[in-house]
Amino acid sequence: MDNEYTPDLYELEDEDGKKQMFEMLDVMEYEGEKYFALTPYYTDPQKKLEASGEVVVLKSVFEDDEEMMVTIDDEEEYDRVGDIFMERLNEMFDCEEEEDDGSLPQ
């Protein structure tokens, strides 16, 4: 069985032109909009440890028929969507941890 994990990586550019790699954690549609949860991706183990747990939430918009990920300017929308993603991610990672420990559910 092949358990090799290949992350879904995206290189994003901020408003200042700085590029950074991100790993896609989750995608969801909510109230007719598409949202993404990403985490910074580093190959350096120290930087990876420092960024552990950091989640960036972005929104899908189309410009000239091209899908782009953009920041969410509305704080209430960001908080609402961020909370949903955190619940979803906690459920996903809790399930993975239970499967990995080798014990049977109680």
The pLDDT tens digits of the residues spanning 77-90 come to 999 999 999 999 88
Per-residue pLDDT, 106 = 44
Residue whose pair of structure tokens reads 């985490």 in the numeric block: 39
Whether 29 is in a domain gets the answer yes
The pLDDT of residue 24 is 94
Residue 106 falls inside a structural domain: no
- 1 belongs to a structural domain: no
pTM confidence score: 0.76
In a domain, 3, yes or no: no
Domain presence at residue 2: no
pLDDT score of 94: 74
Query: Is residue 4 domain-resident?
Result: no
Residue 37 lies in a domain: yes
Count of domains observed in the chain: 1
Domain boundaries, position 87: 9-100
Longest dimension (CA), the chain: 53
**What is the bridge-based pairing of β-strands 33-40 and 19-30?**
antiparallel
Is 82 contained in some domain?
Answer: yes
- Closest by CA to 3, choosing from 103, 105, 99, is 99
